[in-house]
Amino acid sequence: MKTPKRLLPLVEEGLIDEVISQLMSGKEATVYVVRSGDATRCAKVYKDAKQRSFRQAASYREGRKVKNSRQQRAMEKGSRYGREVQEQAWQNAEVDALFQLANAGVRVPQPFICTDGVLLMELVTDADGNVAPRLNDVEMTEERALELHARLVNEVVRMLCAGMIHGDLSEYNILLAADGPVIIDLPQAVDAAGNLEAPAMLERDVNNLATYFGRFAPALLETRYGKEIWSLYEAGALHVDAALTGRVELDSTPIDLEAVLQELEDTRLDEEARLRYEQSLRSGT
């Protein structure tokens, strides 16, 4: 096929020898199958921020920092330069996440290089050497669903042990390769320790897995792995081989309503006292 304009610099630099076909076009990027020497790989071309349907919501950006203080200030101010830096950081986040997660033993595509808004990485294939299907396109038995669900929950645990949460995990960004499920699409991955919405994002990711696999194994719909995993993480007891049950013990301790009301009243009185003190300082009395 004709080489897309965004891939021409990589062809000129010898990183790509041939563009074979377009693999898919999504909300974040367009992906092409390419040849690099004797290897078949994929090139993920990130769409311009104005063209994307997925917005860089503040909830995903929270906790992300850049090393350059000037760039960090520009990002916080939202200036034109800051938006450019933020866009670059958004793209680099996926590359960083891929390397970090691969080192942690999470099955993700192997990244090679990211340049000019293009990520060159492993082409994930099935047992026949064809492009691996998305999980959403695969039918399975109950037994297979339980097996894949368990493997993916373990991948989520490995990610969290590495300090990261996918943030948008579902059957649409998991490929079923020859060696099992492969997690893709990570530009929105969040820092578990630096993002206040991390618990909710983790639970949503895990619930998405239960909802999908629950179509084939209904018992999974009653599980609560997300809450269990986060509870262990908060307690410092989470590790990659943690034995999970999918159940969470609910706190059945009765609420001391009188104590709660008293605490609210004490807070109100303290605030009134503070305001009176500030008023006296202003009036000089």
- Which 8-state DSSP code applies to residue 246? S
Shared domain for 172 and 262, answered yes or no, is no
- Lookup result for tokens 């200030």: 73
Given this model, what pLDDT does residue 74 score? 47
Comparing C-alpha atoms, which of 185, 156, 182 is closest to residue 54?
Answer: 185
Shared domain for 57 and 191, answered yes or no, is yes
Shared domain for 163 and 228, answered yes or no, is yes
In angstroms, the CA 49 to CA 40 distance is 28
Shared domain for 82 and 197, answered yes or no, is yes
Phi, psi dihedrals of residue 122, rounded to the nearest 5°: -60, 140
| Catalytic positions | 168, 185
In angstroms, the CA 151 to CA 141 distance is 15
Given this model, what pLDDT does residue 84 score? 62
- In sequence order, the 6+-apart residues with CB closer than 8 A to the CB of 127 are 178
In angstroms, the CA 46 to CA 145 distance is 32
pLDDT per residue of the chain (285 residues) written in tens, 0 to 9: 899 999 999 999 999 999 999 999 987 899 999 999 999 999 999 987 665 444 445 554 555 454 555 555 544 555 666 556 666 666 788 889 999 999 999 999 999 999 988 999 999 999 999 999 999 999 999 999 999 999 999 999 999 999 999 999 999 999 999 999 999 999 889 999 989 999 999 999 999 999 999 999 999 999 999 999 999 999 999 999 999 999 987 655 677 778 888 888 888 888 888 888 778 777 765
Give CA 260 to chain center in angstroms: 37
Shared domain for 121 and 199, answered yes or no, is yes
Given this model, what pLDDT does residue 285 score? 58
CATH number assigned to the domain comprising residue 153: 1.10.510.10
Shared domain for 167 and 268, answered yes or no, is no
**What type of residue is 249?**
E
**Tokens at 199, concatenated:** 């618990």
> 21 has which bridge partners?
33
